[in-house]
Amino acid sequence: MGDGGYIRSSEQCYTRIKRLKYGFLHEKEDYKFYSEMDEIFRRELKVDDSVADTQDTEEPEDCTQRKAASGAQWVADSSKLPWSDGETEALLDLWGSEEVQETLKGCTKNKHIFIQISEVMVSQGYMRTPEQCQTRIKRLRANFRHFLEGRKGEKQECKFFEQLVQIFGSKYVSNSDPLTEDAAEDVET
């Protein structure tokens, strides 16, 4: 779609295809794109032998990984795209670096840091805005803290536990009130 000059996220394309299939299957000849969809489905029948086997929920796991064409061009609706594991690990590597952590300790506003992180993410092929990076870090931090608080008797899993422990160290493990230290880090961005 991007090569054709259309700026659409994979989620938008996926939703549109679902609507087109629904309209084709339920509205038949009155449907605006009936002839185009009929041609597509006939082609699929020759290959698949069945349209019924087509799954609407199938989407590649790495759909959020897109190469940057020229500079930082973010898709407006990409905030709804889920983060892949590789993308999250890249974000944690960047955010957890000593340089970034030292910079965070010495400043009250951190928006410029997330802009830099976002630019590096784009250079690595992950199209994420600074706001998306910041939101993902906040969510990971909250999930990590929740994991540690609920870990007392139940068996739980934390997907990026090792990386989060390296970044936070024993910050949340040893402190009785972990929220007090977060207040300093979450100062206006």
pLDDT in tens, 149-188: 765 555 456 666 666 666 666 555 544 444 434 434 444 4
Q: What are phi and psi of 126, to 5 degrees?
A: -105, 115
Residue 133 has which token pair?
């990076």
Residue 64 inside a domain? The answer is no
Residue 68 inside a domain? The answer is no
Distances in Å between the alpha carbon of 68 and those of 34, 88, 174, 181? 35, 18, 42, 36
Shared domain check, 101 and 45: no
Diameter of the chain measured on Cα atoms: 67
Is the model's pLDDT at 131 over the cut of 80?
Answer: yes
- Whole domain around residue 11: which residue ranges? 1-59
Shared domain check, 95 and 52: no
Shared domain check, 91 and 16: no
Give the whole-number percent of the chain exceeding pLDDT 70. Answer: 52
Number of domains in the chain: 2
Mean pLDDT is highest, among 68-72, 120-124, 152-156, for 120-124
Residue 65 inside a domain? The answer is no
Which pLDDT belongs to residue 22? 72
- At residue 49 the predicted structure's pLDDT band, cuts being 50, 70 and 90, is very low
Residue with tokens 């795209």: 81
Shared domain check, 87 and 54: no
Among 127, 135, 130, CA closest to 84: 127
Shared domain check, 83 and 34: no
